[in-house]
């Protein structure tokens, strides 16, 4: 049976792709060795520096974020190198598993899957490493499985306080262009990103933003690599080209996405995500449900993970929402399977879209017989209306 209206894609990525980006991608594929393509290449390579807030190069791969994880590791680390990682959830665990598979020695600082990384624990471990055997610290900025953010500036302060030379690598796959991020200011050496979330594109592009320190490490790195090699990318990238056939039409879309983010203004983008996250949390709290992230200072502005009461299956609830209201919500991953659902509120998203999303959740809770208090949607709407009144007042005063 045909489902009427638009599908609400409210997973934490891939996100809704706006019409402007779809139209930008809907062009004939150009010659990727032509001067016109070189202009496009330079436009996106330089444009992404403004999104990462970095001065060093950004390498763009036709790959998922998993590819960018691997590129970050194999370009800077040698087989057998010791890497310190922090367990914030499912995706930090996958990155650790990759490090193990490619011959590194990852050490996993244990977390509870309900908060970001503990900078003090990282500092203490680095202080104990007097021989400087640890070559890199890897953390996830926004853990997509739990809705918890790690304050990266605090991790940098911890590394500096320990006087440790380890590289700092950060996964921003579900935070880039949604949550404030500052590679150069925070002293990050390699940042990993992906196209399908805050950048508002389909899946298929991934990124490494790289510091001078990381480039120096790459010169002595003996790990096997070919496709992922920064060195092979750097030469062609200098004039806007790539050492292989790039994902041309995705690059059209990326150029448009960068323009859209700057038209809105990155600070406004971050404020919008903060507002929608706060409205969502107010709805969850009014329903009497539990936000998975237990540390308010680590709340995510990209998504909210919600725990259902014991004895209630989050996947059965998600199925009821999908079948009755044509809306997809994120599932619980690995040890959170069946226990939580995730509301994505990132990317090309506005107040009315959030109101529809939360209405679908509230109706779904009733259909799935999950015990809850009514009024979550109204709590969110009241907050959004209050914020709108405040913004309107500020605009009038400025005029």
Query: pLDDT, tens digit, for every residue of 92-106?
Result: 999 999 999 999 999
| Per-residue pLDDT at 273 | 98
Q: What percent of the chain has pLDDT over 70?
A: 98
Task: In whole angstroms, give the CA distance from residue 296 to residue 291.
Answer: 10
Name the token pair of 25.
Answer: 């991608």
| Per-residue pLDDT at 393 | 61
Indicate the SS3 state at residue 26. coil
Task: In whole angstroms, give the CA distance from residue 298 to residue 246.
Answer: 37
Q: What's the Rg (C-alpha) of the chain?
A: 21
| Per-residue pLDDT at 392 | 66
Distant-in-sequence, close-in-space partners of 239: CB < 8 Å, separation ≥ 6: 38, 41, 42
Task: In whole angstroms, give the CA distance from residue 225 to residue 238.
Answer: 21
Q: What is the pLDDT of residues 176-214, one digit of tens each?
A: 999 999 999 999 999 999 999 999 999 999 999 999 999
Q: Is the pLDDT of residue 343 over 70?
A: yes
Burial 315-339 (b: 16+ CB within 10 A, else e): bebbebbbeebebbbbbbbeebebb
What residues does CATH 3.90.1150.10 cover in the chain? 8-14+265-398
Indicate the SS3 state at residue 334. helix
Name the token pair of 314.
Answer: 């989050």
| Per-residue pLDDT at 394 | 58
Averaged over 83-90, what is the pLDDT? 98
282 is in an annotated binding site: no
pLDDT band at 391 (very low <50, low <70, confident <90, very high): confident
Q: Is the pLDDT of residue 395 over 80?
A: no
Asked whether 239 and 211 are in contact (CB, 8 A), the reply is no
| Per-residue pLDDT at 101 | 97
What residues does CATH 3.40.640.10 cover in the chain? 19-262
The fold of 19-262 is 3.40.640
Task: In whole angstroms, give the CA distance from residue 319 to residue 328.
Answer: 9
Task: In whole angstroms, give the CA distance from residue 67 to residue 313.
Answer: 33
Predicted model pTM: 0.96
Distances (CA, A) of 118 to 77, 128, 138: 24, 16, 12
| Per-residue pLDDT at 399 | 52
Name the token pair of 248.
Answer: 């041309």
Q: What is the pLDDT of residues 114-131, one digit of tens each?
A: 999 999 999 999 999 999
Average pLDDT, the chain: 97
Task: In whole angstroms, give the CA distance from residue 32 to residue 245.
Answer: 7
Q: Is the pLDDT of residue 216 over 60?
A: yes
Q: CATH 3.90.1150.10: does it fit domain 8-14+265-398?
A: yes
Averaged over 361-378, what is the pLDDT? 98
For residue 136, the cross-strand partners are: 83, 167
């Amino acid at each position: 049976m045909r489902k009427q209206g638009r599908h609400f894609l409210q997973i934490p990525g891939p996100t809704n792709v706006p019409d402007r980006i779809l139209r930008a991608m809907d062009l004939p594929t150009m010659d990727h060795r032509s001067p016109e393509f070189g202009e496009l290449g330079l436009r996106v390579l330089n444009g992404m520096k403004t999104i990462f807030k970095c001065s060093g190069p950004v390498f763009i791969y036709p790959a998922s974020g998993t590819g960018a994880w691997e590129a970050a590791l194999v370009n800077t680390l040698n087989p057998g190198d010791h890497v310190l990682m922090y367990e914030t959830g499912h995706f930090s665990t996958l990155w650790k598993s990759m490090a193990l598979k490619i011959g590194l020695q990852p050490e996993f600082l244990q977390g509870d899957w309900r908060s970001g990384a503990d900078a003090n624990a990282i500092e203490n471990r680095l202080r104990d490493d007097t021989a400087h055997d640890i070559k890199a610290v890897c953390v996830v900025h926004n853990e997509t499985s739990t809705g918890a953010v790690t304050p990266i500036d605090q991790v940098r302060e911890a590394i500096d306080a320990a006087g440790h030379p380890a590289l700092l690598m950060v996964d921003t796959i579900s935070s880039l262009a949604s949550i404030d991020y500052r590679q150069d200011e925070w002293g990050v050496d390699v940042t990993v990103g992906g196209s399908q979330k805050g950048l508002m594109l389909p899946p298929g592009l991934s990124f490494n933003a790289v510091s001078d320190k990381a480039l120096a490490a790459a010169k002595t790195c003996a790990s096997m690599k070919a496709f992922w090699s920064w060195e092979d990318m750097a030469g062609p990238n200098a004039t806007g080209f790539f050492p292989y056939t790039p994902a041309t039409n995705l690059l059209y879309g990326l150029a448009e996405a960068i323009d859209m983010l700057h038209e809105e203004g990155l600070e406004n983008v971050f404020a919008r995500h903060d507002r929608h996250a706060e409205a969502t949390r107010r709805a969850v709290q009014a329903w009497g449900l539990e936000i998975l992230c237990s540390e308010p200072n680590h709340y995510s502005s990209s998504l909210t993970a919600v725990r259902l009461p014991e004895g209630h299956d989050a996947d059965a609830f998600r199925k009821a929402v999908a079948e009755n209201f044509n809306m997809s919500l994120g599932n619980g991953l690995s040890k959170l399977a069946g226990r939580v659902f995730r509301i994505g509120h990132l990317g090309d998203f506005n107040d009315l879209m959030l109101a529809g999303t939360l209405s679908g959740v509230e109706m779904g809770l009733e259909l799935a017989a999950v015990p809850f208090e009514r009024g979550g949607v109204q709590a969110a709407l009241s907050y959004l209306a209050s914020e709108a009144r405040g913004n309107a007042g500020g605009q009038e005063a400025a005029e």
